[in-house]
Amino acid sequence: MEKYVLSIDQGTTSSRAILFDKRGNIIATAQEEVSLIYPHEGWVEADALVIWISVVNVINECLIKANATWADIDSIGITNQRETTVVWDKQTGKPIYNAIIWQSRQSSDICDKFNDKKEYIHNKTGLLINPFFSASKLKFILDNVEGSRERAKRGELLFGTIDSWLIYRLTNGAVHATDTTNASRTMLYNIFDLKWDEDLLKLFDIPKQMLPKVFPCNHDFGTASYFSTKVHIYAVLGDQQASLFGHACFKEGDCKNTYGTGCFMLMNTGSTPILSKNGLLTTVAWNIDGKVSYALEGSVFIGGAVIQWLRDGLKCISSAPEVDGAATSVKDNGGVVFVPAFVGLGTPYWDNDVRGTIFGMTRATTENHICRAALEAIAFQTKDVFDVMAKEAKISLTSLQVDGGASKSDYLMQFQSDILQINIEKPCCTETTALGAAFMAGCKSKYFGSLKEISMMRCIEKEFKPQIDAVSAQNACKTWECAVQSARTFKAFK
């Protein structure tokens, strides 16, 4: 009987388990929501044990749905929300504080203190000092949980991102490890030397004893003995990197954009890390058998979230899929340009203070024009990231791979193709992140063949080609640039 690869995709709001077959087809999936905890304004936490329980549940459910047993599983791949920080007791395996979720701003004050070290940190980690990354979150826990720093120094406490936490639990506490992609998001890992950075550990006052060992993404991370099985965890990588891998973006210049709540664009830059001067992050794309590929990464804070706002805030649609119908019920945007800077703007502006603004309304403006402008805004923000990426990588791009909830909008995808003047390719498998982890694990176990064979398995469900000329595209982008500038000017007068 054919075996399957089990992919565990632990995301911010839910955990998923998916079984893939040799052709990359989905055999069964199971998903469970994970509740987030908001102890104060801007703080986002989750109970790490609840995350673990959800993973156990979805694995069981997925196997049951597929009518499979562990004997049918070839190997396990883990992909996870990145940067989220857990500290637990080495003996009992119990967390000493909630998992601090990547979005949480509770370590902002800590980051402010390191502002003068911005360049220094960027030159070692490729990251911009910001509470997103694990270092300040870990420092927050050690500063606030009484006696924890001393206990960590005595080797009694362990730190990990979600992948480490799951590996530790799945292996019944036998393995404390992470992979290079997750390590590269902690702000404690030197992406040039490929080691935990002693200077940064000193700067953030983190005892080295509590850090996991770092391995390539395709490594034997131990067996999932919690389930009394000998099935090996053969792959670990962060979610955005797994998506890049799942899209088979193996060549320098290959690029993908995930249109989720926010949008994350990653471009493979090959074996050389490129340090950005324009607000992109430099990160490890993957490490296969010790051979590292790097990526440039840009983020849009409000992507699909603006569609949620149309539904829940403006209440002009009752579900996200309705947005396309609304947007195409009018012949154009009626001159409306929407800058959905609800929480500031990400790459390349990194402006925390600018707020959402709608320009160009007349008495003829309807909700449908606003829906259309909202979808266009997702595409315009993506173009801002894309332009910086093309410039820094000195590559002219011919296509973009896409995934994520908002990529279901055909209007958005066509408009994206129009203003970028390149082809947009949407894959058949919508679970690209989980597929990436399955590919990585299956390559290690020889379940899948070479990267070349994986590339050949790629299946494009739909391709969008530019339908307007370059001059019209440029004109549309000029109105956006003007709107962004005005929104940012307005902030200055507040």
Binding site for ligand ADP (CB under 6 A): 11, 13, 260-261, 304-305, 307-308, 320-321, 323, 404-406, 408-409
Residue with Cβ nearer ligand ADP (302 or 473): 302
Residue with Cβ nearer ligand ADP (304 or 436): 304
Residue 325 CB, shortest distance to ligand ADP, in Å, is: 10
Q: Classify residue 141 by burial, with Cβ atoms within 10 Å: 0-12, 13-18, 19+.
A: buried
* CB 16, CB 58: distance < 8 Å: yes
Residue 404 CB, shortest distance to ligand ADP, in Å, is: 4
Q: Name residue, tokens 């049951």.
A: 64
Residue with Cβ nearer ligand ADP (107 or 299): 299
Lookup: tokens for 182: 């997750």
Lookup: tokens for 209: 């004893």
In angstroms, rounded to a whole number, what is the distance separating the alpha carbons of residues 128 and 172? 35
Residue with Cβ nearer ligand ADP (170 or 307): 307
DSSP 488: H
Phi and psi at 286, nearest 5°, equal: -170, 165
Residue 125 CB, shortest distance to ligand ADP, in Å, is: 24
* CB 257, CB 230: distance < 8 Å: no
Residue 178 CB, shortest distance to ligand ADP, in Å, is: 22
Residue 360 CB, shortest distance to ligand ADP, in Å, is: 22
Cα–chain center distance at 437: 13
* CB 302, CB 380: distance < 8 Å: no
- Which among 314, 322, 305 has a CA at the least distance from the CA of 358? 314
In angstroms, rounded to a whole number, what is the distance separating the alpha carbons of residues 150 and 152? 5
Residue with Cβ nearer ligand ADP (161 or 409): 409
Residue with Cβ nearer ligand ADP (34 or 203): 34
Residue 26 CB, shortest distance to ligand ADP, in Å, is: 16
CB-based closest residue to ligand ADP: 405
Residue with Cβ nearer ligand ADP (161 or 261): 261
Length reported for the chain: 494
Residue with Cβ nearer ligand ADP (265 or 292): 265
Residue with Cβ nearer ligand ADP (296 or 406): 406
Lookup: tokens for 95: 């967390």
Residue 409 CB, shortest distance to ligand ADP, in Å, is: 4
Q: Name residue, tokens 């989980």.
A: 434
- Please report, for residues 231, 375, 379, the alpha-carbon distance to residue 385 in angstroms, rounded to integers and kept in the order given: 40, 16, 10
Phi and psi at 20, nearest 5°, equal: -115, 145
Residue with Cβ nearer ligand ADP (210 or 371): 371
In angstroms, rounded to a whole number, what is the distance separating the alpha carbons of residues 377 and 407? 14
In angstroms, rounded to a whole number, what is the distance separating the alpha carbons of residues 208 and 27? 42
Please report which residue ranges of 33-133 form alpha helices under DSSP H: 48-65, 108-113, 118-125
Residue with Cβ nearer ligand ADP (194 or 320): 320
Residue 262 CB, shortest distance to ligand ADP, in Å, is: 7
Residue 160 CB, shortest distance to ligand ADP, in Å, is: 22
Lookup: tokens for 399: 């296509």
Give Cβ neighbours of residue 253 (< 8 Å, ≥ 6 apart).
267, 268, 269, 393, 395, 397
Residue 25 CB, shortest distance to ligand ADP, in Å, is: 20
Residue 271 CB, shortest distance to ligand ADP, in Å, is: 30
Q: Name residue, tokens 């632990």.
A: 10
Residue with Cβ nearer ligand ADP (184 or 243): 243
Lookup: tokens for 24: 């990359």
DSSP string, 291-353: EEEEEEEEEESSSTHHHHHHHHTS-S-SSTTHHHHHHHTSSS-TT-EEE--BTBB-TTT-BSS
Residue 258 CB, shortest distance to ligand ADP, in Å, is: 7
- For the four alpha carbons of 86, 89, 93 and 95, in that order, the dihedral sign comes to negative
